[in-house]
Structure 1
Amino acid sequence: MSQPTGGFHQRLQGLAPRQQQAFMAALCERLLPNYGLYAQTTGNGNPAGLRAILDLVWEQLSVREARIDFDRQAEKLAELEPPGNDDSFGARRALEAVVALSAVLDTLRGESPDAVLEVSRTSKGGVRAFIELTEGEEDARRLAERIREHPLMEDENDFQDAVLEAAEGNLDRDALKALRQLGRNGGVSNLGLSLD
């Protein structure tokens, strides 16, 4: 299979809005376990609430006639954010899941041309933060190199490439189901963590 031409970001921005939404929804699926782990360890948050909103996003993508009030969903989502005074590593990763889902909702409520790049960067940023935390490298250049070559970052890049490739196709119901499955990634998040 030949690689489509153009860099990753150009290809992302070249997607139709619905394809971008599907790309973002798949990335959100993979961020959800981070939120779930945060809720499990702190008792803060509501993973079922987050799941319900993401399920509505998928419903909107697969049933074009679906009439979902995404303004209302955005209000509900805002209530699911980790407390503002919690600056822990887990809270920041949980917040990334909320921010990514919020970006998808923005596109469903109207225009948000950069949302797809924001979600891509948010997911990669979480991986970068996790590697920085675990590698503890002082030298910035060496750390940057280590991040680039780290298996988690390679996995993240491969994952986003695979999702982009799937989103570039014809997104019928089966393709969306497959994309959602890909996003769920066997319940393992972008940080290699799972709830099990």
Structure 2
Amino acid sequence: MAIHLPLSRLSQWQQVTFCAALLERMLPNYQMFARAVEFGDAALLRNQLDLLWQWLDKNNRTKINFEAQLNKLEAATPNPELFDTYGVFPALDVCMALMSVFQGIQDKNSADFASVGRLSANSVYGYVELLLLEERAEERAEESTGDSAEPNDEALDIAPDVLEQHPLVQWEVATQNELFDFLKNAPENKKTCEQAKEMVMEEGLSNLGIEV
């Protein structure tokens, strides 16, 4: 499952703004994970996202040492094999998304920017699937009380159309489309950045529905 937007039609500046705005919705997932397991550096990632917004300010553009930032980010990136909590996966998506933006800025012909939208969407799809699987398992457990038969894996499968109808998935799709439509005709200035950020954070929630 993926959201297909023609990001290549946007300028590099517009694409970075698109990515930075999506990262605002993703970052709380890393922050919550880092607090829960006492791993990583949430302040570092917040600072790196702020650096991107400052880089987007053409009138007072901040220079970024991409190699240094990527090295710092790599050290703060969690290895899913070392954690037994689901939160490691959306946290990893945040790190990968930031890496993609840093790499994309350096390579104007890169497809790295498009991966940010996919990572954000994948975080949502994965989380929603987990929620639905837990609900399905609970329902089947209640139905099979007194029955020794175990539910098979197929009985717990979540159909794609069920995922697509979930409010969090629909919200993610709507947010990315709204952001793209806004940016494709927006001027490349600080006000546009502020409007993009306000647009995606209006609800005060991360893309997984976590309160910011």
TM-score (norm 2): 0.81
How big is the shift at 1:113?
2.3
* Counterpart check, 1:100 vs 2:97: yes
Unmatched runs of 5 consecutive residues or more in structure 1: 1-7
How big is the shift at 1:171?
2.3
Matches within 5 A, 1:80-159: 80-84=76-80, 85-86=82-83, 88-111=85-108, 113-136=110-133, 138=154, 142-159=158-175
What residue identity is the alignment partner of 2:15? Q
Unmatched runs of 5 consecutive residues or more in structure 2: 137-153
* Counterpart check, 1:181 vs 2:198: yes
How big is the shift at 1:186?
4.4
Q: C-alpha distance in 2, partners of 1:94/1:140? A: 26
Q: C-alpha distance in 2, partners of 1:186/1:44? A: 27
How big is the shift at 1:66?
2.7
How big is the shift at 1:41?
1.0
How big is the shift at 1:12?
1.6
Query: Does the CA-based 8 Å contact 1:30-1:183 persist in structure 2?
Result: yes
Query: Does the CA-based 8 Å contact 1:106-1:112 persist in structure 2?
Result: no
Instruction: Give the secondary-structure state (helix, strand or coil) at the position aligned to 2:208.
Output: coil
Query: Does the CA-based 8 Å contact 1:120-1:160 persist in structure 2?
Result: yes
What residue identity is the alignment partner of 2:182? A
What residue identity is the alignment partner of 2:179? V
Instruction: Give the secondary-structure state (helix, strand or coil) at the position aligned to 2:159.
Output: helix
Q: C-alpha distance in 2, partners of 1:59/1:34? A: 22
What residue identity is the alignment partner of 2:120? S
* Counterpart check, 1:77 vs 2:94: no
Q: Deviations over 1:118-146 (max 9, x none)?
A: 11111111111111101015458852111
What residue identity is the alignment partner of 1:48? A
How big is the shift at 1:83?
3.7
Q: C-alpha distance in 1, partners of 2:36/2:204? A: 17
Q: Which moved more, 1:133-142 or 1:111-120?
A: 133-142
Q: Which moved more, 1:119-128 or 1:108-117?
A: 108-117
Q: Which moved more, 1:96-105 or 1:69-78?
A: 69-78
Identity %: 29
Q: Name the structure 2 match of 1:32.
A: 27
Query: Does the CA-based 8 Å contact 1:71-1:109 persist in structure 2?
Result: no
Q: C-alpha distance in 2, partners of 1:58/1:90? A: 26
Greater Cα radius of gyration, structure 1 or 2: 2
